Structure 1
């Protein structure tokens, strides 16, 4: 189990690390869609398929990211956090996920051994972590905070919309939202008595 210090510390990948397994994707226009009440059901179908494909290799699977927050506008991409015994052991989960259409896209050893697989239709970002990683805990805390705090949900949505015009890769878009995200994390960690 990660320590409070590990959960509250902002971790950044090594900027010199090339995370792209198949090379960087072609930049695409980022479009923020109104909240879709069908996103949770889409997640449930996707999670069931992941569990069926991986069986006991799944330690946990969670709907995270903006599509998991009712009322929050988002890219029409479902983010899923998957916990496996060891993300480095790609043979234990990648082939089975490839069998249902996922493609290994990101490998970040410097960021908790994070792996990310994408599904093209429907669009999914499947984030893979190990059981001792603080990131899934952080993602759940952020999701739950936004679900219960409409003022921060609105602040985050405004930051997302402001980040769109910069273009580039989705990682560039994410970097433009980072200050607001970290302000919200600071607030939620303080409210939880962790800072």
Structure 2
């Protein structure tokens, strides 16, 4: 949910291996009440793998908001004591089938993994990162203000209909409306 926009060079540099080209529209599906269960299953697996190294684990993204259409990908926010200390957690996640796909040391020490079976984005940060608060403000506002949910959903549908070279470009394009909603949440 970063507020920055990424160039192709930055997208390629962040990916472990080559960033996958999308070159298509974005598929949004209606809210699925299975999404929270899929999150809980992944959360249990992550807690089993990492134990007390889990500082925070939350279901984030559009799949965590009842009634919101989304890409059918479960986004999970994980905080570990130091996300840049990969030796402390990456080998255990990889042994459990998770695959490190993004490494952004200069942006909130962000790492991202794909899951072993369920389509997830596991976002890993250290405590004190700026993204956890942004997610909480944004998602809380969507859950408690139907007009904000409708505004965001309309923007998502408009943008999803366009062809995007990378999925990250679609995510970046949502930045302005996300920032506006977060600002209203902060001012409330």
Structure-2-length-normalised TM-score: 0.91
Determine whether 1:25 maps to 2:20.
Answer: yes
Following superposition, the deviation at residue 100 of structure 1 comes to 2.1
Gaps of 5+ in 2: none
> Which residue number in structure 2 is paired with residue 178 of structure 1?
175
CA RMSD, aligned part only?
1.7
Q: Quote the Cα distance in structure 2 between the aligned partners of 1:182 and 1:85.
A: 27
Q: Is the 8 A contact 1:14 1:111 kept in 2?
A: no
Where does structure 1 lack aligned partners over 5 or more consecutive residues?
A: 1-9
Q: Which moved more, 1:108-117 or 1:61-70?
A: 108-117
3-state SS of the aligned residue for 1:110? coil
The answer as to whether partners of 2:6 and 2:172 remain within 8 angstroms in 1 is no
Structure 1 residue 104 corresponds to structure 2 residue 100: yes
Secondary structure in 2 matching 1:44: helix
Q: Equivalents in 1 of 2:6, 2:174: separation in Å?
A: 19
SS of aligned partner of 1:80: strand
State the 4+ residue runs in structure 1 displaced beyond 6 angstroms.
none
- Whether the 8 Å CA contact 1:11–1:111 is kept in 2: the answer is no
Residues 110 and 125, structure 2, Cα contact 8 Å, conserved in 1: yes
Are the equivalent residues in 2 in contact too, given 1:14–1:110 (CA < 8 A)?
no
Q: Deviations over 1:76-103 (max 9, x none)?
A: 0000000001011111111111122211
Secondary structure in structure 2 of the residue aligned to 1:131? coil
The 5 Å alignment of 1:1-195 reads 12=4, 17=10, 18-27=13-22, 29=24, 30-119=26-115, 121-164=117-160, 165-191=162-188
Q: Deviations over 1:52-109 (max 9, x none)?
A: 0011111110000000000000010000000001011111111111122211111111
- The structure, 1 or 2, with the larger RCO (C-alpha pairs under 8 Å, 6+ apart) is 2
Q: Work out whether residues 65 and 139 of structure 2, in 8 Å CA contact, stay in contact via their aligned partners in 1.
A: yes
**Distance in 1 between residues matched to 2:94 and 2:122, nearest whole Å:** 12
